[in-house]
Structure 1
Amino acid sequence: MTIQLIDLVPGTLRRAWATDGTCPDLDIYTLFRAHRIAAPDRIALADQAGVLTYAELDLRVRAAAAGLRKLGVCQGDVAGVQVPNGRDAVIADLALAALGAIALPFPAGRSVTEALSLLGRSGARAAVVATEHRGAAHARDLLAAAHRPPALRTVIAVGPQEPPPGCVPWSEVLSADPCAFVPARTDPDTAARILVSSGSEADPKMVAYSHNALAGGRGNFLATLIPDEVPPRCLFLVPLASAFGSNGTAVTLARHGGCLVLLEHFSPSAALAAIRGHRPTHVLAVPTMIRMMLDQPGNAPMPPMTALVLGGAELDAATAAEARAVFGCAVVNLYGSADGVNCHGGLAHTPGDDNGPGVVVGPPDPRVTEIRIAPVPGEDFGEIIARGPMTPMCYVGAPELNQRYRTAEGWVRTGDLGTIDESGRLRLVGRLKQVVIRGGANISLAEVERAVATHPDVREVVCLGVPDSVMGERLAASVVPRPGRGLTLDQLTDHLTGQGLDRGKHPEHLLLIEEMPLTPAGKPDRDALRALIPRTT
């Protein structure tokens, strides 16, 4: 089964971006191969198993591609990849690109129910999955599922553990002859990867990206954060299988010829040790990870870095200033999503005393994506829409999402509210879908979180709605206090009153937690937090 993916961006625009050099107009494996030829001894990857040069990595990639081809994975096929951060994830990603197949990565740790949904809706022919990861037997569970997707023919088990019966061992795939492999000639405007969104839908959205959108549009985003044009050394604390992690193989390696530094699992102590040991130029993480690292005792001075690059949520100004002081580098907070939007303030951006609406994100970069504001009836600000070289082709297996979130001209409707100020900067005001409706009144979670984060005893906050029989919903604040600090609901509401936040927007429940629970993609787990609220009120 070869899934049909239609590019909703006009072809004339795609070709114009390729013609003017905005996109490289080459597939991901060809771009990677060029770096292998130019600098075969350059370090491409460092993980817990050691380091691999570009030449060593390429040999493994070609062997894996040959092995996958023997198993029937062909150009245009979708293959799921559920493997933790490490060389096997990178090898699988590049091997599928070399075949002209479409990678569908999703983080290890996600349930078999979600895996079956993603594999089934995408028509995946094969799945490369971890035999075992942190107590989850992904390969065994996938094989044992009562309703396996009909198109799924092959399950490949990765890891040192004995693979369950019925799986093909990853070692067998890697044993194929790399010299016998001839890469596919792949149109760079065809699909290379399906990103899985961590949005609010019951089933995660899947978004198809072309080679040019990844290496070109997303590659241009990272290029703005490489001031000296020296290949970057990027420590990925987020899963490579997440949407943010798509800046790994296709961007850091294939586009920029850099090095990936990978941890199989995040912990603040391991992340700090990796920074000291591997001396990355860039660290890609979510704000919760930075907060946890800052709270580690006895933080010694860090080696010089270019930037902490943060996605998935907003980092409050106080923590950003603390991070700049401790890590001695720029803190770049991205506004972006798998759906196809990206904007940031750059390496020189520091928040100032700005009394305008919302949060200043930065000037949109047309080499990444153009951003416009579309009017929204009944709202003071418009909806942020985006279209540019990084814009994805379409949603996968969900024509209703294409109708809801894409315009006839290929623009992506983000569902976020914003404005472009007089300086040409995007200002994020709120998210249409992240609201609590209390007694018929809409409360922006982002607005309340920004106000709560200014309390001196708050390290991190996530606000969410909890069901209420009278008001429909009530607002709860889940707070990680700063070390050695405490907080009561009365203290918090007094502070919010002093901040000028309307009393109708004050949280009515306060949950104090030692550590923010994270999803497999590294974002705050709102479902886990919501489950705790009733037991504390």
Structure 2
Amino acid sequence: MTAERLVLRDLLPAELRRSWVVDGTCPDLDLYSLFRARQIADLHRTAVIDAKGKLCYTALDRKVRCLATGLRELGIGPGDVVGVQLPDGRGAVIADLALAALGAVPLPFPVGRGVLEAEGLLRRSEAVAVIAATEHRAYRHAADLRTLAAALPRLRHVIAAGRPGTVPDGTIPLAELLRSDPVGFVPARPDPDSAARILVSSGSEAEPKMVAYSHNALAGGRGNFLASLIPDGTPPRCLFLVPLASAFGSNGTAVTLARHGGTLVLLDHFTADAALAAVRAHRPTHVLGVPTMVRMMLERLDVTDEELPPPTALVLGGAPLDATTAAAAAQAFGCSVVNLYGSADGVNCHTGLGRAVPPTDGSGVVAGHPDPRVAEIRIADPSTHQLLPDGAVGEIISRGPMTPLCYVGAPELDARYRTPEGWVRTGDLGYLDADGLLHVVGRLKDIVIRGGANISPAEVERELTAHPQVRDVACVGVPDPLMGERLAACVVARGAQPPTLASLRAHLTGRGLERRKHPERLLVVPELPLTAAGKPDRAALRERLTESTALV
């Protein structure tokens, strides 16, 4: 706790923040206080279901207070940033809440992210400690992070979570901190408009951005998003297929538990079979994942042909949702499919529970009606930043109760992506129609430039998902000495016979997609690789395509 601690400024006008408290949009309580109120209201409600079984609110709170006591004895206090690299499970939830109880700021990032990326996150955030898994699949995160200590003078502690005997030298066993006596612990009461968590962008192709969110932005703004999907107000039971450490996963501890008093159903590693088993065993009200994960689950359902207990909603975000997947998922899961358009940077819009299959337009599934209790959305000219009328395509900008404070350690990002009035520039292109419905048509940056002509990979993907031999697809640009870039389609085949490049191109012609946008290369893969955040790993696909000498 030194004078040089990272400053996280709120780029929204203070009077606007307070107006959302006055009108009841935000709860004006810190996350631990909200969680504690839920625990007192229902002592024995199940808080977490993971590989170890069930954990009720009271048992969870005791573990939280034990860890908070141990961390405080290490000198960790209000405003300190602490990295967390743990798989989904009770350990990640305990760490989240313990840091909230201290008024510290957790910086979660998913397991599977490499040590170089971790070093950048911890350095730029000026983290004083990190809590990491000793072993998770092929990773040894605690030992890897311990090697960074010499290069990170602000990093005082590496706390290792794992079995006895596996804790690396020079680290502090998490189990030891969890044995602290919590009787005298008094939680901090941070300002609800101060930093509560740092969200990390997916970072699949560049150094990830870090975005600071307040207690009110998480429990209020993001909490209102989930509230709109709980028709009867009953505490939800949410199965998270995405990591809690991802931006999408921030709807876990802060929203599902602290705001709504619900239950988290967690998998320490996603597989389609494990996810389907969790749906059958735990009957979640809400399943949250990315479209690729659901397509994997649908493929397994084709094999098993077993019915699923219907949730209230299947909430899909993190990547564009196509109409084919939406329709198949609605039928298989027997519930409304909700298309979530959002990002770590501070935008949220979704299609709601009004229809089983979300509506579509010429660009695919629509984003829905913006909810001002979550985030107001407008359309601006990308160059002049002037607001555009309904129907005009421009850059999507967002501002509302869930808007983050600022980017972390990156004033250049604040200058580039935040307006003087606090609006977030998303870099996405879209328009609002006469009914106020948001349509997303592409990204300013996410294009392939072939011989000077722009191609939107998302547009091609939307059309290819309707091909009868395509289960899943991701399109990427690959370098080409003549044209600069060429478009490649990376396809997971439906059935035993994979499609040919010629059949894909013929299909796109039949769908009315002009020839210049057709893929010129094809890579057939058994499944799309995923980033640590659960999104298709386009960088890995591009690397495979670049190295391959046997492309069709």
The question of a shared fold, defined as TM-score above 0.5 by the shorter chain, is answered with yes
Name the amino acid aligned to 1:33: R
Render the CA deviation track for 1:121-140: whole Å, top value 9, x for unaligned: 00000100001111211111
1:391 corresponds to which residue? 403
Q: Which runs of 4+ in 1 moved over 6 A?
A: none
2:238 corresponds to which residue? 234
- Alpha-carbon shift at residue 315 of structure 1 (Å): 2.2
Name the amino acid aligned to 1:307: A
* In 2, Cα distance between equivalents of 1:521 and 1:496: 30
Q: Is 1:111 matched up with 2:91?
A: no
- Alpha-carbon shift at residue 216 of structure 1 (Å): 0.3
Change (3 A) 1:190 1:227: same
- Partner of residue 85 from structure 1, selected from 83, 88, 91: 88
2:533 corresponds to which residue? 521
- Partner of residue 40 from structure 1, selected from 43, 67, 71: 43
Query: Secondary structure of 1:84's partner?
Result: coil
- Alpha-carbon shift at residue 201 of structure 1 (Å): 6.0
2:545 corresponds to which residue? 533
Q: Is 1:323 matched up with 2:329?
A: yes
Preserved contact between residue 239 and residue 265 of structure 2 (Cα < 8 Å): yes
2:258 corresponds to which residue? 254
Q: Is 1:53 matched up with 2:56?
A: yes
- Alpha-carbon shift at residue 61 of structure 1 (Å): 0.3
Preserved contact between residue 197 and residue 213 of structure 2 (Cα < 8 Å): yes
* In 2, Cα distance between equivalents of 1:320 and 1:484: 23
Change (3 A) 1:257 1:354: closer
Q: How does 1:202-351 map to 2 (within 5 A)?
A: 202-296=206-300, 297-350=303-356
1:463 corresponds to which residue? 475
Query: Secondary structure of 1:414's partner?
Result: strand
- Alpha-carbon shift at residue 78 of structure 1 (Å): 0.2
Render the CA deviation track for 1:227-257: whole Å, top value 9, x for unaligned: 1100000011111001100000000000000
Name the amino acid aligned to 1:95: A
Query: Secondary structure of 2:231's partner?
Result: coil
Deviates more, 1:369-378 or 1:172-181: 369-378
- Alpha-carbon shift at residue 360 of structure 1 (Å): 1.7
Render the CA deviation track for 1:162-219: whole Å, top value 9, x for unaligned: 2011100001110111111100011000000000001466310000000000000000
For structure 1, the 5+ residue unaligned runs are none
2:189 corresponds to which residue? 185
* In 1, Cα distance between equivalents of 2:51 and 2:361: 46
Q: Is 1:368 matched up with 2:371?
A: no
- Alpha-carbon shift at residue 350 of structure 1 (Å): 4.9
* In 1, Cα distance between equivalents of 2:257 and 2:84: 18
For structure 2, the 5+ residue unaligned runs are none
Change (3 A) 1:21 1:103: same
* In 1, Cα distance between equivalents of 2:118 and 2:361: 45
Preserved contact between residue 358 and residue 430 of structure 1 (Cα < 8 Å): no
* In 2, Cα distance between equivalents of 1:324 and 1:448: 23
- Alpha-carbon shift at residue 533 of structure 1 (Å): 1.2
1:402 corresponds to which residue? 414
* In 1, Cα distance between equivalents of 2:403 and 2:147: 37
Preserved contact between residue 8 and residue 410 of structure 1 (Cα < 8 Å): yes
Q: Percent identity?
A: 66
Change (3 A) 1:142 1:60: same
Render the CA deviation track for 1:136-156: whole Å, top value 9, x for unaligned: 111111112375311000000
Preserved contact between residue 295 and residue 471 of structure 2 (Cα < 8 Å): yes
- Alpha-carbon shift at residue 418 of structure 1 (Å): 0.4
Render the CA deviation track for 1:21-65: whole Å, top value 9, x for unaligned: 000000000000001111001111111111111111000000110
- Partner of residue 144 from structure 1, selected from 141, 144, 147: 147
- Alpha-carbon shift at residue 435 of structure 1 (Å): 0.1
1:439 corresponds to which residue? 451
Query: Secondary structure of 1:478's partner?
Result: strand
Aligned length: 537
TM (norm. structure 2) is 0.95
Preserved contact between residue 505 and residue 519 of structure 2 (Cα < 8 Å): yes
2:16 corresponds to which residue? 13
Change (3 A) 1:395 1:354: closer
* In 2, Cα distance between equivalents of 1:354 and 1:220: 24
- Alpha-carbon shift at residue 453 of structure 1 (Å): 1.5
1:170 corresponds to which residue? 174
> RMSD of the alignment, in Å?
1.5
- Alpha-carbon shift at residue 447 of structure 1 (Å): 1.1
Preserved contact between residue 295 and residue 483 of structure 1 (Cα < 8 Å): no
Q: Is 1:63 matched up with 2:54?
A: no
Deviates more, 1:397-406 or 1:315-324: 315-324
Preserved contact between residue 393 and residue 431 of structure 2 (Cα < 8 Å): yes
- Alpha-carbon shift at residue 88 of structure 1 (Å): 0.6
